[in-house]
Amino acid sequence: MAKMILVGLVEPTSPEQEETFRERYLGNHIQDIANCPGFLSGTVYRLDTPHDDFPVVSRYLTIYEVDAESAQAASDKLHAYVADPNAFPGRLSSEGSLKIVGSGWYRFERAHHTRG
């Protein structure tokens, strides 16, 4: 199978929603989606410092590693998984607490490692 990642750029909908965002998205949603069939992991990074003068579009970067034949196949599995209310015990809705700034499926292209 091909190694792909699903990237999500997300933000709380407002400063008032920050706590709910942390509870529902960071505390529940990432683990939920990482348990989707074919998904290997879910990782969230929070912006530490902007790079040079480039614009910052999101403070949170989410990366899901996925084994799938195609983005369409992975997306179909994800949609079916999310539609099943019993797929993840304790699932919390993230609605209203986050806005998706950007998202996309990326296929592995090349890696360069400089250290063991």
Q: Which residue has the tokens 């879910």?
A: 42
- 88 lies in a domain? yes
- 90 lies in a domain? yes
- 61 lies in a domain? yes
CA distances from 54 to 7, 97, 99, 102 (A): 19, 26, 21, 16
Length, in residues, of the chain: 116
- 115 lies in a domain? no
H or E stretch covering 8:
strand 2-12
CATH of the domain at 99: 3.30.70.100
Residues whose CB falls within 8 Å of the CB of residue 85, separated by 6 or more in sequence, listed in order: 91
pTM greater than 0.85: yes
Total number of domains constituting the chain? 1
Domain extent at residue 53? 2-107
pLDDT tens digit at each of 116 positions of the chain: 568 999 999 999 999 999 999 999 999 999 999 999 999 999 999 999 999 999 999 999 999 999 999 999 999 999 999 999 999 999 998 888 999 999 999 998 888 889 86
Query: How open is the CA angle 93-95-99, to the nearest 5 degrees?
Result: 130
- 39 lies in a domain? yes
